[in-house]
Amino acid sequence: MNDVSREKRWQDHFPRLFPRYALLACLALVVVSLGVVLTPARPPEPAEPSFSEQARAAALTETLRLKAAGSRLVTAVQDGSKPPPASLDGGSEPAGNPAVERTVTLLTTQAQALRMPGETDSEAAGASATASDASPPAKTAATATASPSPAGTPVAQAPATAAALVAALADSGRQRLADAAVADGGMARLLAAVGTAQLLRASALAAETGTTAPPSADVAFPKLSGTCASEPAQAGSSRATGSAESAAGDATAASPAVPDAAVPDAIHSAGTQSGPETTPAGASEAAALAAVVQTEAEAVYSYQVALPRVRGAAAASAAEALARHDELLRGAESLSRRLCLAVPPREAGYALGKSFLASPAAGLGKLEAAALPVYGDLVALSEGETRQWAIAALYSSGKRSVHWGADPGALPGLDSASLPSPAPLPSG
């Protein structure tokens, strides 16, 4: 009886208490919703820098470090004071000649090319630290084994002597070339240019200051492997083969100067953007290889003409360079066949100006320097073994241009129109 009466009372009270329960439920819902709204959302994780950005940041940081070290050497000589003890064993004190100043100017120009638009040195250091904290992206064994050098962690001591600066320049140049083999097209071209110039400058600085030359400065050519795909695949690539023939013909007609053919510059910026680059119509790996074949064919002919006109050590150097260009020509033709591309036919001869015949050594220097942008195109537009071969050929051509008295510049392989203005020597 009591249970029945208790249930009856609850049934009588519930209609009166229902609005209170509903109000409490609404208040609880409002409190919960306010808590959700007022809680700040977790910021998204920053995107991991690409390999190209990591490599650019590392190159910029190391270039700025080397430039600062060179500037300190120049200041120490100008003030008549001795620099701090060397960071590396051996070496001599800076001799005070313009060699270190030329090195600083070159590194200043390279830093300008590596810096992103509007980026300051402090921002560059921050970008380098971010890039160094990020793990490099996975790379297949077929691409390369390079990884960007730690950008945010400078060496404990900066190079304090000319000998130390030579060694550091050579180490940085090798790392830049290793990164160029893996980076994206435009950035690969810029890194290859920076690395080539740093290696060449390391050798020149050693000779000009009387210090020990960097060991193993040469860049090895890869052993090319593989053949063209099967016959059905070749049939499917006939359009690419035809475009290669057309590109080669267009390049020959467009550039009568030495060298006879040159692919239009594929990257008109200095390569500071790691994203997609704007390339002119017709710029492709096939066109770049066709230009290399024709450039090397003309180089072989030019050296054959120059060889009887030089004497002594110059004759020996010309003969050695002729053999190297013959190897490069055969290598470029082999690469074309491996990619199922038509090999441009060799010409019977090329027109050489009177200035070349009158001064063949200077003409050979101009010839080698003119080949640098052609190889820069191939670096930007190729990948894998082809790019590694192009990087080695770029350095080899730069080395020969220096030998014949030509200046490859601070960024060999980049079109002169895309380069930053010549950098003045910083004071202090």
**Got the DSSP string for 86-128?**
PSSSS------SHHHHHHHHHHHHHHHHHSPTT--HHHHHHHH
pLDDT value of position 239: 41
pLDDT value of position 160: 77
- Distance of alpha carbon 166 from its chain centroid, rounded? 20
Question: Residues in the chain with pLDDT < 50?
Answer: 83-95, 131-132, 134-145, 150-156, 231-281, 422-428
Burial class (CB in 10 A: 0-12, 13-18, 19+), 314: middle
pLDDT value of position 150: 47
Q: Which of 343, 157, 330 is nearest to 248 (CA)?
A: 343
pLDDT value of position 42: 72
pLDDT value of position 333: 95
> How many residues are present in the chain?
428
pLDDT value of position 285: 93
The rounded distance, in Å, linking the Cα atoms of 87 and 74 is 17
Cβ(337)–Cβ(229) below 8 Å: no
* DSSP code string of 194-257: HHHHHHHHHHHHHHHHT-PPPTT-S-PPP--------HHHHHHTHHHHHHHHHHHHHHHHH--S
pLDDT value of position 224: 82
pLDDT value of position 425: 45
pLDDT value of position 27: 73
User: Can you list the domains of the chain with their CATH numbers?
Assistant: 51-209 (1.20.1260), 231-409 (1.20.1260.10)
The rounded distance, in Å, linking the Cα atoms of 373 and 394 is 9
pLDDT value of position 25: 74
The torsion angle over the Cα atoms of residues 303, 304, 306 and 312, rounded to 10 degrees, is 90
Q: Which two tokens stand for residue 24?
A: 């409490």
Cβ(246)–Cβ(131) below 8 Å: no
